[in-house]
Structure 1
Amino acid sequence: MSDPVLFFLAVLTILATPGPTNTLMATAGATRGLAGSLRLLLAEIGGYLLAIFAIHFALGQVVGDHPVIGSGLKIAVAAYLVWLAVKLWRRPLILDAGAQAVSFANVFVTTLLNPKALVFALTVLPWQSPALGWYVAAFAATVVAAGGGWIALGSTLRGAMGSRAGYLPRIAAVALLAFAGLVLRAAL
Structure 2
Amino acid sequence: MQDPVLFTLTVLLILGTPGPTNTLLATAGGAMGFRRAAPLVPAEAAGYLISILVIGLVIGPVIASAPTVLIGLRVTVGLYLIWLAAMLWRNGAIDAAAPVTARQVFITTLLNPKSLVLALGVIPFGAPPWWPFLLGFLLLLTCVAISWIALGALLGSVASTVARAGWVPRIGATIIGAFALTAVIGPLFR
Fold shared, TM-score > 0.5 on shorter chain? yes
- Tell which deviates more after alignment, 29-38 or 124-133: 124-133
Once the two structures are superposed, the pairs formed by residues 97-116 of structure 1 within 5 Å of their partners are: 99-116=97-114
Instruction: Give deviations 1:84-142, integer Å, cap 9, x for gaps.
Output: 0001111254766xx22111110000000000000000111122444422211110011
Does the CA contact (< 8 Å) of 1:85 and 1:176 recur in 2? yes
In 2, Cα distance between equivalents of 1:95 and 1:104: 16
Unaligned runs of 5+ in 2: none
State the shift of 1:40 in Å. 0.7
Aligned partner of 1:32 in structure 2 is 32
TM-score by length of 2: 0.93
Once the two structures are superposed, the pairs formed by residues 1-188 of structure 1 within 5 Å of their partners are: 1-93=1-93, 99-162=97-160, 163-188=163-188
Distance 1:82 1:10, change over 3 A: same
In 2, Cα distance between equivalents of 1:54 and 1:35: 31
State the shift of 1:31 in Å. 1.5
What RMSD, in angstroms, separates the aligned Cα atoms of the two structures? 1.4
- Tell which deviates more after alignment, 146-155 or 84-93: 84-93
State the shift of 1:175 in Å. 0.4
SS at match of 1:91: helix
Aligned residues: 186
Distance 1:160 1:94, change over 3 A: farther
In 2, Cα distance between equivalents of 1:119 and 1:128: 15
Q: What letter matches 2:81 in structure 1?
A: L
Does the CA contact (< 8 Å) of 1:22 and 1:150 recur in 2? yes
In 2, Cα distance between equivalents of 1:128 and 1:63: 16
Q: What letter matches 1:139 in structure 2?
A: F
